[in-house]
Chain A
Amino acid sequence: MIRFSIRLLLAGGRRAALAAGLVGAGVAMGTLLLAVTLGALHGWDAREARTGWRVDVDSAVARSAVAEPVGTARVRVDSVAGRPMDVVDLSATGSTAPPPGLPRVPAPGEVWVSPALAELIRTLPPAQLADRFPGPPTGTIDDTGLRDPGELVAIVGHADPVEGAVPIAEFDRSAGITIIEGYRQLTYVAVALLLFPVLGLLGAAARLTAVRRAERLATLRLLGASTRQLTVVAVTEVTLVAAVAAVAGIVAEWLLAPALALIPLGGSGWYASDLRVPPLVALAVVAGVALLAAAAATRGMRAVVVGPLGVVRRQAPRGLRWWHLLGVVAALIVFGIAQAAVGTSGFTVVGLVIAVAVLAMFGVVWLVGPWVVRLVGARLARSARSVPRLLAGRRMLDDPRGAFRPLAGLTLAVFVAGFLAPFSGALGGDPEESAALRVGESVSVEQVQARLQERGLAATVTASRRGPLVEPAPGTNRDEVRTALVPLAGEPVVSSAERDVASAVLAADIYRGILIVLVATFLVAATSAGTTAAARVLDQRRTLRLLNLAGTPMQVLAAAQRVETVRPLLVCGGIALVAGLVCAAPIMSAQAVLEPAGLTVLGSVVVIGALLVVAASAASRPLLRSVAQDRVAD
């Protein structure tokens, strides 16, 4: 029967190929997005394995956690040519395996640099860079010890631990909780935010060909096929297409990895290989997508009953069940527990806890949506004075879950926007950035002025509570000023903004991540809305065609479709927005949404959401026209 199903699929002609192609495109896009987020998680793991030992660590945690350290390290943030540079002062405690990327443990006085830094040392005058190090580069760090090919890092060997150094447990993992863990937790939240919309898209794509399948099943039923055989035929086609499309999604992710690697996160880009989903995870994704598609196809089959005469009849719509409301209560309880746990949970699980809270609230929106549609439909059907409104209201009342399906993606996208808007509000403001270079407290203004005069460098030097502040004069090379002052300061000479580069980078990354997640969510939502709207038109094509034959103008049919989409979306969107703000409340004040950046995000969401509704509705209108005015069909 499976072989027969495959033959049916392959021999279906152009229309079948087109339908399978549409299903495949939807599934491939969903899989691609899922693979990108999973690839990001893999990227953090790979980055941590290579550079975790030297990422600035929480020293208290690190010291208490390390019993037998392999060495000590201090990471200093420096800057050259306007780019951040890490200088790692390492003293190894004995014979041990070298840090990743190095052929041996650096001996005292040795300077190992990344290829990008080696190139800068070669090209810039020594007074701008090379003079900051105790000697010329000993060698280069290879790819296995770097965040990305462009990273600027130097590892300087020392005989004894330098001041402020922390113990290193091992070179192949983090000594403590690093910023990478923070990024990993944020990625968990991003996965959670994308999960439901992607699942919705997979479901929408799988249902696209439900009617065509039902018609084929009717023929097979007439020929005496059993229910089990019909199920095999229905499931085989969708599962096969979904599995092939999922593989295509994974391949696309692998091909896109070099482009994705250019997106900076955590202060640098990536190695493309770090972002590629590992084969085993890829297999699991393909299997999962195929299973989901099979489940969607089985559910789609339940929507039609194939009678003994091979007549496809719509089953009485399955109404909303009271246990759906129980589901809402359960999801709210899970959300409450997760919300309470956010403040008390450890750093390594906080992202997962937030993800659970987000998923619970997603569940609430998902379950409440059809009820809202039902209420809106009842009100509309009661008060309708025109045919489009009456049709729309009755359709919503008749099948609230079906009517909510095209709106689900956009509703969830609005939820995501509501969740993220306060973050963008809090992060969007330009931090006051001081460009003045700060020299250590132990150095006097006079010493700095003398040193600069000696080197012929013009700058304004002022005193501050935390040491002299140096503002290079226009035309004076900033890196030369830094390099000249390093021997005096005994540490990198950077501005406060450059010193706190990790925080600045994190804030920028979160903001960038928010925009990426929003764009991805809305793209998925738009595809999902368009696909589902098309599926609904195809579901109703016979009725639509006969209505048009009997003299119902196209405008009436299109208007009914528009009312059916816009009315409930406004209500569902409002609820989703509030739910998103509530979900973000434990982490970020909802008032942050009133910041200009937050308002910008929300305003954009409203405008883009409205445009998407119009576009999705308009996209299915040619199909509506073609279906309604098909004079040859049947």
Chain B
Amino acid sequence: MTPVLRAIGLGHRYGATTVLREVDLAVHPGETVAVTGPSGSGKSTLLHCLAGIIAPAEGEVWLGAERIDRWSEARRTALRGTRFGFVFQFGALLPELPAVENVAVPLMLAGVRRRDAVATAAEWFPPLGLAGLEQRRPGQLSGGQEQRVAIARALVTEPAVVFADEPTGALDSATGAKVFSALAALTTRTGAALVVVTHDQEIAARCQRTVVLRDGAIVQGVAA
């Protein structure tokens, strides 16, 4: 199967510190990949390079048949809004918007009419156990509910790849497990790939594949 996302010889440094070296990685459609490793091992930098958030100093990043690592910042930003989905440690929802509008924002950014965007966004609430919470503000939701709204927001554009950076880091273990189950199930159902950066070995164990980084290099796991 052709990988949806592929990194070839990725390298990056901050000043004199090398944070990524010679990283090769391929992610296939519908696959769930955990990226683990100790603090400072380069997990978040790898995710940022793969997602087009930063341009790597060395190597290549391919989305399908397109090489994206040399695209302009604006083009990469647009790519993140349409082809990628993101779930962060804290929901990172807009506090002023009701939950359903938070989910509708990526659709509106893609040019969908507001009414249609909100209607589509609302369809994601029942499968995530959020029915009835559409008009609540983020401040009125629990941490777990906020993360589920963030998952809906990440998936609403039907992206090719969902990136999750410590998605359960701010939740208790029981809630974290439920949230991750929802994330993995819905991502797989849409056919998207899921790349999860996590310290949590239980979360990593539930992914189809685990890549371990140390000092910026893959030391364990199938790279491609």
Using a CB–CB cutoff of 8 Å, the interface residues on chain A facing chain B are 313-314, 316, 384-387, 390-391, 394-395, 397-399, 542-543, 546-554, 556, 629, 631-632
Q: Which 3 pairs of residues, A with B, have the shortest CB-CB distance?
A: A551-B81, A551-B80, A546-B92
A551 touches B114 (CB 8 A): no
A631 touches B94 (CB 8 A): no
Look across to chain A and name the residue whose beta carbon is closest to the beta carbon of B157. Answer: A551
From A384, A399, A551, B106 is in contact (CB under 8 Å) with A551
- By a CB distance below 8 angstroms, the chain B residues around A314 are 95, 139
The CA-CA distance from A316 to B136 in the complex, in Å, is: 12
Least Cβ distance of B20 to chain A in Å? 14
- By a CB distance below 8 angstroms, the chain A residues around B85 are 550
The CA-CA distance from A262 to B139 in the complex, in Å, is: 57
The CA-CA distance from A386 to B95 in the complex, in Å, is: 18
Least Cβ distance of A134 to chain B in Å? 81
Given known A550-B86, A551-B82, contact A543–B109 (CB-CB < 8 A): no
B86 touches A387 (CB 8 A): no
- By a CB distance below 8 angstroms, the chain B residues around A398 are 95-96, 137
Q: Is B67 an interface residue (CB 8 A)?
A: no
Q: Is B53 an interface residue (CB 8 A)?
A: yes
Q: Is B54 an interface residue (CB 8 A)?
A: yes
A385 touches B113 (CB 8 A): yes
Given known A316-B139, A387-B109, contact A543–B78 (CB-CB < 8 A): no
Look across to chain A and name the residue whose beta carbon is closest to the beta carbon of B95. Answer: A314
Given contacts A543-B95, A629-B73, 14 further A-B contacts (CB under 8 A): A314-B139, A384-B114, A391-B97, A394-B97, A542-B92, A543-B94, A546-B86, A547-B94, A550-B86, A550-B154, A551-B82, A551-B86, A552-B109, A553-B109
- By a CB distance below 8 angstroms, the chain B residues around A542 are 92
The CA-CA distance from A547 to B114 in the complex, in Å, is: 19
The CA-CA distance from A549 to B85 in the complex, in Å, is: 10
Given known A314-B139, A316-B139, A390-B101, contact A553–B92 (CB-CB < 8 A): no
Q: Is B46 an interface residue (CB 8 A)?
A: no
Q: Is B88 an interface residue (CB 8 A)?
A: yes
Least Cβ distance of A505 to chain B in Å? 55
Least Cβ distance of B23 to chain A in Å? 18
Least Cβ distance of A59 to chain B in Å? 67
A553 touches B14 (CB 8 A): no
B interface, over-half SS: helix
- By a CB distance below 8 angstroms, the chain B residues around A391 are 94, 96-97
Given known A548-B77, A551-B78, contact A394–B14 (CB-CB < 8 A): no
A551 touches B84 (CB 8 A): yes
Given known A394-B96, A394-B101, A543-B94, contact A552–B81 (CB-CB < 8 A): yes
- By a CB distance below 8 angstroms, the chain A residues around B182 are none
Look across to chain A and name the residue whose beta carbon is closest to the beta carbon of B165. Answer: A549
Given known A549-B86, A553-B78, contact A390–B95 (CB-CB < 8 A): no
- Which of B14, B53, B95, B154 neighbours the largest number of chain A CB atoms within 10 Å of its CB? B95
Least Cβ distance of A624 to chain B in Å? 14
- Which of A314, A384, A387, A394 neighbours the largest number of chain B CB atoms within 10 Å of its CB? A387
Residue interface mask B8-44, A partner, CB < 8 A = 1 = 0000001000000000000000000000000000000
B54 touches A631 (CB 8 A): yes
The CA-CA distance from A384 to B113 in the complex, in Å, is: 10
- A–B Cβ pairs within 8 angstroms, 12 of them: A394-B94, A397-B96, A398-B96, A542-B92, A543-B94, A546-B92, A547-B94, A549-B86, A550-B154, A551-B84, A551-B106, A552-B81
- By a CB distance below 8 angstroms, the chain A residues around B54 are 631
A549 touches B80 (CB 8 A): yes
Look across to chain A and name the residue whose beta carbon is closest to the beta carbon of B54. Answer: A631
- By a CB distance below 8 angstroms, the chain A residues around B73 are 629
A390 touches B108 (CB 8 A): yes
- By a CB distance below 8 angstroms, the chain B residues around A632 are 14
Q: Is B63 an interface residue (CB 8 A)?
A: no
Q: Is B223 an interface residue (CB 8 A)?
A: no
Least Cβ distance of A51 to chain B in Å? 60
A550 touches B92 (CB 8 A): yes
Q: Is B48 an interface residue (CB 8 A)?
A: yes
Look across to chain A and name the residue whose beta carbon is closest to the beta carbon of B91. Answer: A546
- By a CB distance below 8 angstroms, the chain B residues around A550 are 80-81, 85-86, 92, 106, 153-154
- By a CB distance below 8 angstroms, the chain A residues around B108 are 386-387, 390
From A385, A390, A395, A553, B81 is in contact (CB under 8 Å) with A553
A553 touches B77 (CB 8 A): yes
- By a CB distance below 8 angstroms, the chain B residues around A395 are 96
B53 touches A549 (CB 8 A): yes
- By a CB distance below 8 angstroms, the chain B residues around A394 are 94, 96-97, 101
- By a CB distance below 8 angstroms, the chain A residues around B77 are 548, 551-554
Least Cβ distance of A553 to chain B in Å? 5
Residue interface mask B96-118, A partner, CB < 8 A = 1 = 11000100011011000110000
The CA-CA distance from A397 to B101 in the complex, in Å, is: 14
The CA-CA distance from A296 to B86 in the complex, in Å, is: 37
Look across to chain B and name the residue whose beta carbon is closest to the beta carbon of A631. Answer: B54
Q: Is B185 an interface residue (CB 8 A)?
A: no
